[in-house]
Amino acid sequence: MNDNKPILRYNANERTNHWIVAILFMTAGLSGLALFHPVLFWLSHLFGGGPWTRILHPFLGVAMFVFFLGLVFRFWRANFITANDRLWLRRVDRVMLNQEEGVPPIGKYNAGQKLLFWTLLVCMLVLLLSGVVIWRAYFSQLFGIEVIRLSALAHALAAFVLILSIIVHIYAGIWIKGSIGAMLHGWVSRAWARKHHELWYREVTGDKTPGNHGRKEG
């Protein structure tokens, strides 16, 4: 086996989908933060002022949700929590310190990435549903005032959790060298795959040729 050949971790469609969601997250997120707290209202200038921020934000949010669904359909099977993940979570303190002893080998995604995936999905669903309710221009007249108030609260809460999760997500990319490249140009080195996702590495490079239905590595 040639040990120098890189491995394709994300294909062009996956990368494109990811970065469309990322761009929509940044725009929806910044326009939402402008309305989140007065000290961030200046962010509305990025979108052409307060009214434009109010007009654009929900459309950006809906687009983000739609494209995020693409990522969900592509990756959800690789994100089931396993017993191995629970062990990994118990050892997360070692992971945080860049220690490898006792940290179980993991598949395509570690438990942190999987939890992130499901957290994002829940947040996106809450944001979509509550966002429709507080979308004053088109939908709010269909709902009672208490539902609107609850939705406004839920929307802010879900956005907060989502933004925190993405901060963690971005930092993980900066921290684990090689992972930004995996999402930018798609390739990771074999050493990277072995170090960070050993089970996945074995699966994609193992002697047994992986079956064509091996969706797990998508």
Query: Residues with catalytic annotation?
Result: 169
Strand partners, 115: none
Which residues within the stretch 109-128 sit at the binding site for another protein (CB under 8 A)?
none
Question: Would you say 3 or 83 has its CB closer to another protein?
Answer: 3
Interface segment toward another protein; rule CB under 8 A; list 82-90, 112-120, 121-129, 134-142: 134-142
In this structure, what token pair is assigned to residue 77? 């099977």
Q: Is 140 in the site for another protein (CB under 8 A)?
A: yes
Of 27, 53, 79, 130, which lies in the binding site for another protein, with binding defined by CB under 8 A?
Answer: 53
Q: Is 214 in the site for another protein (CB under 8 A)?
A: yes
Q: Is 208 in the site for another protein (CB under 8 A)?
A: no
- Closest approach of Cβ 114 to another protein, in Å? 18
Question: Would you say 83 or 141 has its CB closer to another protein?
Answer: 141
Is the CB of residue 6 less than 8 Å from the CB of residue 56? no
Tell me the one-letter amino acid at 132. V
Binding mask 6-35 for another protein (x = CB under 8 A): xxx--xxxx-------------------xx
Length of the chain: 218
Strand partners, 7: 188
In this structure, what token pair is assigned to residue 169? 């997500």
Distant-in-sequence, close-in-space partners of 88: CB < 8 Å, separation ≥ 6: 95, 103, 104, 106, 110, 111, 112
- Closest approach of Cβ 87 to another protein, in Å? 19
Of 83, 145, 207, 208, which lies in the binding site for another protein, with binding defined by CB under 8 A?
Answer: 145
Tell me the one-letter amino acid at 1. M
- Closest approach of Cβ 23 to another protein, in Å? 20
- Consecutive H or E run containing 187: strand 187-188
Exposed, middle or buried, 188 (CB in 10 Å: 0-12/13-18/19+)?
buried
- Total residues in contact with another protein, by rule CB under 8 A: 71
Q: Is 59 in the site for another protein (CB under 8 A)?
A: no
Interface segment toward another protein; rule CB under 8 A; list 65-73, 103-111, 118-126, 182-190: 182-190
- Consecutive H or E run containing 202: helix 198-205
